[in-house]
Structure 1
Amino acid sequence: MSASALAAAPPSAAADTHTLQVIKRNGTLVGFNASKISVAVTKAFLAVQGDQAAGSVALNTAVREVTEQVVQAIGRRLQAGGKVHIEDIQDQVELALMRAGEQKVARAYVLYREEQSRKRAVDAPMEAHPHLTVKKADGSSAPLDLGLMKLQVEQAATGLQGIDSASLLEDALRNLYDGIEETEVLEALIMTARSRIEQEPDYSQVTARLLLEQLRLEAALALGLPQNQSLAELYPQALAAFVDAGVGYELLDEAMLGFDLPRLAEALRPERDLQFGFLGLQTLYDRYFLHWNEARLELPQVFFMRVAMGLSLREDDPNARAIEFYNLLSSFDYMASTPTLFNSGTRHSQLSSCYLTTVQDDLEGIYGAIKDNALLSKWAGGLGNDWTPVRALGSHIKGTNGQSQGIVPFLKVVNDTAVAVNQGGKRKGAVCAYLESWHMDIEEFLELRKNTGDERRRTHDMNTANWVPDLLLERVRDDREWTLFSPSDAPDLHDLYGNAFRTRYEHYEAQAAAGKIKLFKQIPAKQLWRKMLTVLFETGHPWITFKDPCNLRSPQQHTGVVHSSNLCTEITLNTSAEEIAVCNLGSVNLAAHIRDGKLDVERLERTVNTAVRMLDNVIDINFYAVPQARNANLRHRPVGLGLMGFQDALYQLGLPYACAEAVEFADTSMEQLSYFAIRASAQLAAERGAYASYEGSLWQQCILPIDSVGLLQENRRPGELVTDQQSHLDWAPVRELVARHGMRNSNVMAIAPTATISNIVGVSQSIEPAYQNLFVKSNLSGEFTVVNPSLVHDLKAVDLWDKVMVNDLKFYDGSVQQIERMPEELKARYATAFEIDARWLVEAAARRQKWLDQAQSLNLYMAEPSGKKLDALYQLAWERGLKTTYYLRSLGATGAEKSAPVAAPQPQVCSIDNPDCEACQ
């Protein structure tokens, strides 16, 4: 297993490698000899199996197969001969061992490489800079060690293509000064590598590895471990040291000490640190790793194991489950939601993502809801508030014989509470207020986010959403009047939907016409709808969500009513005065499940089975800030398994987002996920029992999500629900399993935005199309240059990736459409969000929606919105049976800094058809 075992020898007669030369670490060239690989692999096996295995048939067979894989891989890369670095050969050995299922041997090989690298660093003579010195921690000065910097760059660039280590080092040195703090030298390397990401995506991994080196030094010091150890050596000690320190600092639950820490430490996979891009690792470093006195206590694999341990606390075999959960998280096949990552294993394990509340119509109820918001937000929960029950402006107050001020003054308090009580100091507080479209305050509600008007009646820091009944869209299409009521006069409309809502609403209209209801207002339905779309374009709010599809397709109709969605419009759960709905989220990385140009169904099945178990565990482990949330979660046990990396999956399949094949893939991939998720919940029910309120649910009636589309169809007029209802799988076994055992969870699926966890994994967000192919992303961790690695890969394949292409992408704001030398096929594949007709997004979402028991966070993009376009788009969403929509995005966001003149801006288009607007004439 020594490095010399892979060092050169006289050329072998291997067909594909006979002219191959090996670049040694000192830069010299020597011939390649495949037999040296056999020697190295044999030593790796013997290091694990012991000398007694020497000469065995099994060992010889394994060595031969691994060696052949390595030689073939190198031969494919350099078919006509050439040069390969010794580190690249060793990378291929690692990969071959992993593919052969020899994880322990591969681990031993990784440990050996790390040890040899450390020894080279220790044994190498210091290469002092002729002029620069550094200031050490004790205040003394020493020459800048150029040799150490070279080694750090060399290690960071190992196995990556297109990295110019020499110029990277040279540029970093330009940013240093005499007497610089020793700790700032590595930071200079990180900043230099970071600046090159736009030129070559692999610099993202170089930067991440340099940051990892910084993290290694920081964590080792914080945990009292030697700083001269490699990561592979540090990890086995770091887990136990972290748990001890975390419990001692009162950061971790004392139950974490009950795990078999040596066993878990052996399961850690240090090589998985190399998966990170810079944005992902920096995000973890800044916001997720537990720290004490600003020093990080966690390394990446320790972090994933901590999360896995926290989710395994109530398992029968917590150690085995922790390893299973760790492997799923650290492989990036699945990622838990941000609250789970923040708090799993801690003393306040608030792991749930979303909380939905209904606000009661009295001061105690209103301020109780605001207090609940504060308590839930403190522990990183996102909030959705249903304000429909609160009486409207001008309503009679019986207790004081006065008139109500309506909901707007209270929403101002909600807004300020969200600002004051952020999510544990780790991200901004976030709340969304929902209001039904028949509420008398709806017109003022629509204007809450406007930048004009009375600031006392504006809420610039919270989100708003319309809760739209089907009847309003029917009235819009029929060009009829729409009547607004106060819920104090029409209280039961809040709890009705479908045909029952229609009947009761018309009853109240008749009462108003007869003078029995005094406080009401009639306006043309089209006028209200147009105003909804106008303010949506102008302010991004309120979002459009649909009450009837959410309720008519809800599995839990027998226990209550869905009164709103959540902060991100993907959760559709019942709320009441007694129950605050809670949902626990996690997302499958769809891109990681594409193999050989198709969806790896077996891998997806394994991922979903484990993921649903992890999500179900959250419910019992979770810290509940308010009792209503605990009551609801334990009674119904809803979870929300979603997906991310949809756009990346399309890249791997060679499909544009805007095509029928992509819509079909959205359908088939969601069907597979739905199939496995429902089955996994039923299997958990067989093991742990069905959820408490299962009897009477749609599940109990053998009505699966795909079947519930028919319930919506029954409540729509002919032609007003036009959606695909086909399936491709045999659902009979799943139906039988549910009928036999029930369901462990009232709801199983929801597609969340994954804004942060997709950054950690390094894939596209949720179901989003690519925003741009080159841009600067801003979040709480700073600004990061993001370049589309799939585009770079495809451009390299046709020899079109160069500095000119980078400048072209900058000039055109990350768009490829106007770059003349860009192949048409790539223009279609890499069309960005604003270059895709938004109807394709709706069509793909409609195919997913039929398989979902909840909803999806669906952003819609329009470069040039108009009233007609918006009306057509949102009516299409309703017609296709979508439950919710999320943001309407229009152009105007942080972009990459241009090195060429900025293209002329597009003319502004009016948001709604207005005869007085020049843009509309």
Structure 2
Amino acid sequence: MPTTTTPAAVAKAPVRVVRRDGAVSAFDATKVSVAMTKAFLAVEGDGAVASSRLHPLVEELTGQVEAALLKHVRPDVALHVEQIQDQVELVLMRGGHHAVARAYVLYREERAKVRAATASAPAPTIRVTHPDGQVTPLDWDRVAAVVAEACAGLTDVSADTVLAETRRNLYDGITVDELATAQIMAARTLVETEPDYSFASARLLLDKLRREALSHVAGEPVEATGEQMSYVDYFPAYVELGVSVDRLDPELRTFDLPRLAAAIRPERDLAFDFLGMQTLYDRYFLHDDGVRYELPQAFFMRVAMGLALREDDREARAIEFYGLLSSFDFMCSTPTLFNSGTTRPQLSSCFLTTVDDDLDAIFRGYRNNALLAKYSGGLGNDWTPVRGMGAHIKGTNGQSQGVVPFLKIANDTAVAVNQGGKRKGAACAYLETWHVDVEEFLELRKNTGDDRRRTHDMNTANWVPDEFLRRVEADAEWTLFSPDETPDLHELYGTAFAQRYRAYEEAADRGEIRVHRRVRAVDLWRRMLTVLFETGHPWITFKDPCNVRSPQQHAGVVHSSNLCTEITLNTSADEVAVCNLGSINLANHVTPTGLDRDRLARTTRTAVRMLDNVIDINFYTIPEARRSNLRHRPVGLGLMGFADSLFVQRIPYASSEAVEFADLSMELISFHALDASADLAAERGSYESFEGSLWSRGVLPIDSIALLADARGGALDMDTSSTLDWSSVRDKARRGMRNSNVMAIAPTATISNICGVGQSIEPLYRNLFVKANMSGDFTVLNRHLVADLKARGLWDAAMVSDLKYFDGALTAVDRVPAELKALYATAFELSSDWLVEAASRRQKWIDQAQSLNLYLAAPSGRALDELYRLAWRKGLKTTYYLRSASATHVEKSTLRGTDGKLTGVTLPPAAAPAARPAASSPSPAPVPELVLPAEGAACSITDPDCEACQ
């Protein structure tokens, strides 16, 4: 039985409850207890009274209901009695009391029908309290008009249903904000029955935003429906206000504002779903002391203007950039969206640093982390140079405590500097596998042991050289060193690293190395995989492919990746690598018959120009970042909506067709991105360190595969086919490139929410789930699936219930056709081999890397070993989170759809994953006797989500 949650553990402030008659009273948990007792009696009969378990059981369940209701309660919003009943229903289901819950549901439905039959407009006694204290009668006609406008043009969405749900949340004296929230929540609770209610919710939130923004810009109360709204009038006044409150760059005032206002497409305000609009409202739109004055299309135009500041024809380019953003064809990363066009335009997403082995450098590293994180940057720190435990300290003639105590401080810095209060600070520490502290590094995220040597909030990643994995496959020994005695290992890779490493081993055998330790490579590999399963960290990333295929290997060494493992740029003591990110929405560039190649080409070329502009406009918080970015000019163009693209084309993710599509789509993006960068070089000049790069030698990403194959002695299983004639791009690249690096696939966790598509290259996570982020909890329903089920007459309340019960998966739902089960298979129903194969096909076209999550429905030592060695053999540069279904706890909304962050039940295991792709070469023998612990935290987050990069 779950642990009882007492009222003392939840909110103590009085909570208001709105009854169905509009009256307001204080929340009373005893009424919940009485209702539950009656429900049990209705099912179990009078004999239940004599049961010694009933009273403590009801008390326990009541505590759970109370905790769920009050956990996130806001003092300015009252609960409705229906919300309380929703929680009762959910708690009964989670507790396994299905018969009682079913009776409770049926009773509620019957009562709802009776109320619906007698429903009428609110009585005239309902009055609204305005911010200035004025009280006026509720204008129900306006409420009805706003709801009707929000529902217009949406399939299977009823304004009457939303209005009826709104009525239940009204009471005399309701505030203006509560009235707006009541309408939004009324539509939001219906999302799980029809996904288009998410668009209605977004439009109702937009009405609230319009009132807030227009009133603030005008300096007096203004209400306007969508038809009444005029961006032509609002936009110039918005810019003037933004400049006057020192938020917008005064240079924006010098644009031809009427021309830009005329180019705004107000109908694109209707393209947002609720998750996208709420995310923008909470975290992106500009505000003045919490009062928002930026509307969606002004937001996109402001970002576009900021990126066009140094263009020759600023207005034309701003309109071009605006078109790409507002159509969701392409989206800049979060820092760019936050800060473009503002007085502090820190537009870059990722920063990579190397921390040198002295106190000045270490504490300078902390300072740099804080300054870089302040304006919304994700951090990747290379800590390999810091000497290991037991190493000699010349200045004090003492012994080092190793790298771990310094990592603890880096962890706490990331917590303290939380990206301007807009999202959590985020950093990842990298350490090479030969570092003598690597075994303690593996333990950093564990919940046991000395907490002073733990980093609970910072990500960690292994930087693994090929030589280590060769030792694993040969079941050979591996030697750990302290970098103060083997400093050049940090700067070497490929064959040169292997040769020097073996020389150091020989020196250690001769007694010439003071600090070293020898372990069995297989044992260390086992430990890496076991801890990865237990804690989700450290991630596995591969040093040699990142360097051997790097276009910039003539100018330095890639010592780590970034926070989200997609950026592979050189770092040193005097250069902090910076990457500027954005992602193409692939779903907007496909039709049922395939890719729209012309549209994709146009989007790609404009996107590269926008990303290149970031570098010159950017506000740099430290000189090392400015110097590096201006010298090398790297950008990272990625993609999102890959799974949606497959749905449109009717291609299952676990199929050779999906792998081929991954290959073709990335080839086209790569072709046009590299061509665009070369054209920019002809227009603006090549980046400073171009000479000597792989580009200058005519070596493109597809060509650099041969370099990696040679370094591995042919032990590489990567496809090298192509469909385009690359000779023209190769010739252009030899003459000049504007950017040292051009492509990287980031997680797109937040910007994909804005665009309403699936994250990055991710498979479908769930067909129905509750997504939790800093803006709250949101019901997410796969609208592609719903459309297919409707077409077959299968979408009904029973199907919603089945999706919830089976954790958003279709495998166990008998009446769903097999072709839909294959098309909408969720991440844990797929073999991750398909993800690796598709990623390998993309990697041949990408000069940087990919944020690749891997999923295991039934993790085991053998499965982990095979999966990560497959990723290595397939030439991947990095991997990201490992997600394990066995450790997943489902967050669900109730059967009626009230959103809320709720702890779910453990559901029956999913069916076996879809078949793996055919292997092109035999797999090596797995690591033997790797037994994972019974419990792991490899997938401790319900919705895989990293918000630091995008």
Measured in 1, the distance between the counterparts of 2:422 and 2:141 equals: 38
3-state SS of the aligned residue for 1:852? coil
Partner of 1:155: 149
Provide TM-score, normalisation by structure 1. Answer: 0.84
Alignment size in residue pairs? 791
Q: 2:767 aligns with which of 757, 773, 793?
A: 773
Partner of 1:189: 183
Tell me which amino acid in the other structure corresponds to 2:709. Q
Q: 2:748 aligns with which of 737, 740, 754?
A: 754
Q: Which ranges in structure 1 are unaligned for 5 or more consecutive residues?
A: 1-126
Partner of 1:786: 780
Measured in 1, the distance between the counterparts of 2:862 and 2:603 equals: 43
Q: 1:414 aligns with which of 410, 414, 421?
A: 410
Confirm whether residue 293 of structure 1 aligns to residue 271 of structure 2. Answer: no
Q: Is the 8 A contact 1:439 1:485 kept in 2?
A: yes
Tell me which amino acid in the other structure corresponds to 1:276. F
Measured in 1, the distance between the counterparts of 2:208 and 2:472 equals: 60
Confirm whether residue 870 of structure 1 aligns to residue 864 of structure 2. Answer: yes
Partner of 1:581: 577
Cα distance, 1:242 vs structure 2: 1.5
Cα distance, 1:441 vs structure 2: 0.3
Matches within 5 A, 1:37-186: 129-186=123-180
Partner of 1:258: 254
Tell me which amino acid in the other structure corresponds to 1:505. Y
Provide Cα deviations, 1:277-325, integer angstroms capped at 9, x if missing partner. 0000100000000100211110000000000000011111111111110
Measured in 2, the distance between the counterparts of 1:535 and 1:196 equals: 41
Q: Is the 8 A contact 2:436 2:480 kept in 1?
A: yes
Partner of 2:199: 205
3-state SS of the aligned residue for 1:573? coil
Q: Is the 8 A contact 2:579 2:635 kept in 1?
A: yes
Partner of 1:738: 733
Q: Which ranges in structure 2 are unaligned for 5 or more consecutive residues?
A: 1-120, 897-903, 913-925, 936-950
* Distance 1:412-1:903 versus aligned 2 partners, 3 A rule: closer
Partner of 1:82: none
Confirm whether residue 666 of structure 1 aligns to residue 662 of structure 2. Answer: yes
Confirm whether residue 726 of structure 1 aligns to residue 721 of structure 2. Answer: yes
3-state SS of the aligned residue for 2:584? strand
Q: Is the 8 A contact 2:426 2:563 kept in 1?
A: yes
Q: Is the 8 A contact 1:309 1:322 kept in 2?
A: yes
Partner of 1:434: 430
Q: 2:875 aligns with which of 878, 881, 902?
A: 881
Confirm whether residue 333 of structure 1 aligns to residue 325 of structure 2. Answer: no
Q: Is the 8 A contact 2:862 2:930 kept in 1?
A: no
Q: 2:675 aligns with which of 663, 674, 679?
A: 679
Measured in 2, the distance between the counterparts of 1:842 and 1:234 equals: 49
- Kindly indicate whether structure 1 or structure 2 has the higher relative contact order, using CA contacts under 8 Å at least 6 residues apart: 2
Task: Pick which of 163-172 and 337-346 moved more.
Answer: 163-172
Provide Cα deviations, 1:197-234, integer angstroms capped at 9, x if missing partner. 01100000000110111111000011016724444643
Tell me which amino acid in the other structure corresponds to 2:218. G
Measured in 2, the distance between the counterparts of 1:471 and 1:516 equals: 22
Q: 2:795 aligns with which of 781, 801, 810?
A: 801
* Distance 1:899-1:299 versus aligned 2 partners, 3 A rule: closer
Q: Is the 8 A contact 1:675 1:734 kept in 2?
A: yes
Provide Cα deviations, 1:416-442, integer angstroms capped at 9, x if missing partner. 000001111100000000000000000
Provide Cα deviations, 1:56-88, integer angstroms capped at 9, x if missing partner. xxxxxxxxxxxxxxxxxxxxxxxxxxxxxxxxx
Identity level (%)? 64
Q: 2:529 aligns with which of 533, 537, 550?
A: 533
Q: Is the 8 A contact 1:479 1:526 kept in 2?
A: yes
Cα distance, 1:905 vs structure 2: 5.2
Q: Is the 8 A contact 1:816 1:831 kept in 2?
A: yes
Measured in 1, the distance between the counterparts of 2:273 and 2:391 equals: 56
Q: 2:230 aligns with which of 230, 234, 238?
A: 234
* Distance 1:918-1:855 versus aligned 2 partners, 3 A rule: closer
Confirm whether residue 449 of structure 1 aligns to residue 431 of structure 2. Answer: no
* Distance 1:861-1:141 versus aligned 2 partners, 3 A rule: same
Tell me which amino acid in the other structure corresponds to 1:886. Y
Measured in 1, the distance between the counterparts of 2:931 and 2:686 equals: 60
Measured in 1, the distance between the counterparts of 2:889 and 2:216 equals: 39
Q: 1:342 aligns with which of 338, 342, 351?
A: 338
Provide Cα deviations, 1:638-666, integer angstroms capped at 9, x if missing partner. 00000000000000010111000000000
Tell me which amino acid in the other structure corresponds to 1:455. D
Matches within 5 A, 1:302-701: 302-701=298-697
Measured in 2, the distance between the counterparts of 1:797 and 1:295 equals: 44
Provide Cα deviations, 1:588-631, integer angstroms capped at 9, x if missing partner. 00000012421000000000110000000000000000000000
Measured in 2, the distance between the counterparts of 1:395 and 1:194 equals: 59
Provide TM-score, normalisation by structure 2. Answer: 0.82
Cα distance, 1:340 vs structure 2: 0.1
Measured in 1, the distance between the counterparts of 2:531 and 2:932 equals: 16
Tell me which amino acid in the other structure corresponds to 1:614. M
Cα distance, 1:193 vs structure 2: 0.4
Q: Is the 8 A contact 1:586 1:641 kept in 2?
A: yes
Q: Is the 8 A contact 1:811 1:902 kept in 2?
A: no
3-state SS of the aligned residue for 1:510? helix
Confirm whether residue 831 of structure 1 aligns to residue 830 of structure 2. Answer: no
Tell me which amino acid in the other structure corresponds to 1:734. V
Partner of 1:810: 804
Cα distance, 1:164 vs structure 2: 2.0
Task: Pick which of 171-180 and 325-334 moved more.
Answer: 171-180
3-state SS of the aligned residue for 1:847? helix
Measured in 1, the distance between the counterparts of 2:800 and 2:248 equals: 46
Measured in 1, the distance between the counterparts of 2:322 and 2:928 equals: 54
Provide Cα deviations, 1:670-716, integer angstroms capped at 9, x if missing partner. 00000000000000001000000000000000000000000000010
Q: 2:208 aligns with which of 200, 210, 214?
A: 214
Superposed CA RMSD in Å reads 1.9
* Distance 1:827-1:168 versus aligned 2 partners, 3 A rule: same
* Distance 1:128-1:461 versus aligned 2 partners, 3 A rule: closer
Q: Is the 8 A contact 1:811 1:898 kept in 2?
A: no
Measured in 1, the distance between the counterparts of 2:819 and 2:739 equals: 44
Q: 2:846 aligns with which of 849, 852, 858?
A: 852
* Distance 1:894-1:345 versus aligned 2 partners, 3 A rule: farther
Cα distance, 1:717 vs structure 2: 2.9
* Distance 1:139-1:856 versus aligned 2 partners, 3 A rule: same
Q: Is the 8 A contact 2:207 2:225 kept in 1?
A: no
* Distance 1:530-1:255 versus aligned 2 partners, 3 A rule: same
Cα distance, 1:919 vs structure 2: 7.2
Measured in 2, the distance between the counterparts of 1:761 and 1:801 equals: 25
Partner of 2:757: 763
Measured in 1, the distance between the counterparts of 2:488 and 2:588 equals: 47
Cα distance, 1:241 vs structure 2: 1.3
Q: Is the 8 A contact 1:812 1:903 kept in 2?
A: no
Q: Is the 8 A contact 1:546 1:883 kept in 2?
A: yes
3-state SS of the aligned residue for 1:130? coil
